[in-house]
Amino acid sequence: MKALVADRSIVSRLSNYSCGHPSGDGVKIQTIPVPEILANEILVRVRSVALNPTDFKHIDIVSPRGAIIGCDYSGTVARALYMEDSTPTAVLLVEYLKIPGDLAWKVPSSVSDEEAATFGVSAVTAMLALNARLGVPWLDSGKSQGQEDTPIFIYSGSTAAGLYSIQLAKLAGLKVVTTASPKSHDLVKEYGADDVFDYRSPTAAEDIIRAYPNIDRALDCFSEGTSTEFCANVVRRNRGWVVTLLDSGKKDLDGVRVDFMLAYSVFNAEFQWLPPVGPKFHKVPSDNDALRRFYAALPEIALKLKTPPLKNIDGGLENLTTGLDLLRQGKVSGTKLVATVF
């Protein structure tokens, strides 16, 4: 089968990490064996994929040569192997992947393949940050009462993770405050934001504090530049809590707790950033439990959520580098890139 694999040496990746200016695609199409599944795994015939910023970051910095690229997909079950079944069948000529059987979810008939593919990194990041970190009530436990005046701040609400976060927080009963550029104000309100501020305004943080003096939780869906400091300023009066998606290297900002999370922790396995020299991350069993809970409820929850606006990348697997370049250049805003690869 065909796969998009990383094609940068460790020297190239270290150079990219240092200078931030990668050259070339850094990936290639390679023919690899169809995965053999083990007990309680599923072989999935991939139909659609969604692209994420983490994909090009893996290409440019993280993934060793030959590593398969990509996180988000939807497809159909080609083979399931249970404990009593010992003879998996390999089917060739199309693209496949294998997953733990209890980390799959059945897509409702009203959700398209392209829409289903977006419930990976972006939606899981929103769930992990809000439900497993910041204490936002889980949707499978019902809407919480009496929290309509309890605000939560989401920086960069027009990102895919931001749009899912807005919806999860709103459905849980919270008042959602976010930032976006003026062109995206209508978009984030359409997805449930109660109030939106222009992050470029020099008084934005002060305006939020004035309007919501009891705000004490923030999710930084941008996590670059000064965004984390902005979030800390918003919740500082209440000695609040900020969750970030990239590591700022700080655990505390003048009395504000700052927690960094990577959604890869949901797989309950150790992993390393920029191996073999980068930092290692330990298993987090509770995050794996959170993912199982989320995906168990997702067939119902997905009917309540709107996927981000989709932009299709034509050309199948061979043309995914076009979308990756758009993400790399910061040219994707308010949309989610998806592609049909088979």
Instruction: Estimate the crossing angle of helix 227-235 against helix 204-211, to 10 degrees.
Output: 30
Is residue 28's pLDDT more than 50?
A: yes
Query: What pLDDT, in 10s, does the model give residues 253-271?
Result: 999 999 999 999 999 999 8
Query: What pLDDT, in 10s, does the model give residues 296-313?
Result: 999 999 999 999 999 999
Query: What pLDDT, in 10s, does the model give residues 69-118?
Result: 999 999 999 887 654 433 333 333 247 888 888 889 999 999 999 999 99
Mean pLDDT confidence for 114-138? 97
Predicted local confidence at residue 144, as pLDDT:
61
Predicted local confidence at residue 88, as pLDDT:
33
All residues at 6 or more sequence positions from 19 whose CB lies less than 8 Å from its CB, including other chains? none
Confidence of residue 196 (pLDDT cuts 50, 70, 90): very high
The more confidently predicted of residues 131 and 63 is 131
% of the chain with per-residue pLDDT over 70: 94
For the chain, give the mean pLDDT.
Answer: 91
Predicted local confidence at residue 20, as pLDDT:
77
Tokens describing residue 226: 């000064």
All residues at 6 or more sequence positions from 198 whose CB lies less than 8 Å from its CB, including other chains? 179, 180, 181, 182, 185, 204
Taking alpha carbons only, the member of 109, 145, 113, 120 closest to residue 45 is 113
Q: Say what the pTM is.
A: 0.92
Mean pLDDT confidence for 56-65? 92
In this structure, which long-range contacts are made by residues 327-335, counting pairs with CB atoms below 8 Å and at least 24 apart in sequence? 327/51, 327/52, 327/53, 327/55, 327/56, 328/22, 328/56, 328/60, 333/158, 333/159, 333/181, 333/184, 334/158, 334/183, 334/184, 334/187, 334/308, 334/309, 335/308, 335/309, 335/310, 335/311
Mean pLDDT confidence for 197-206? 98
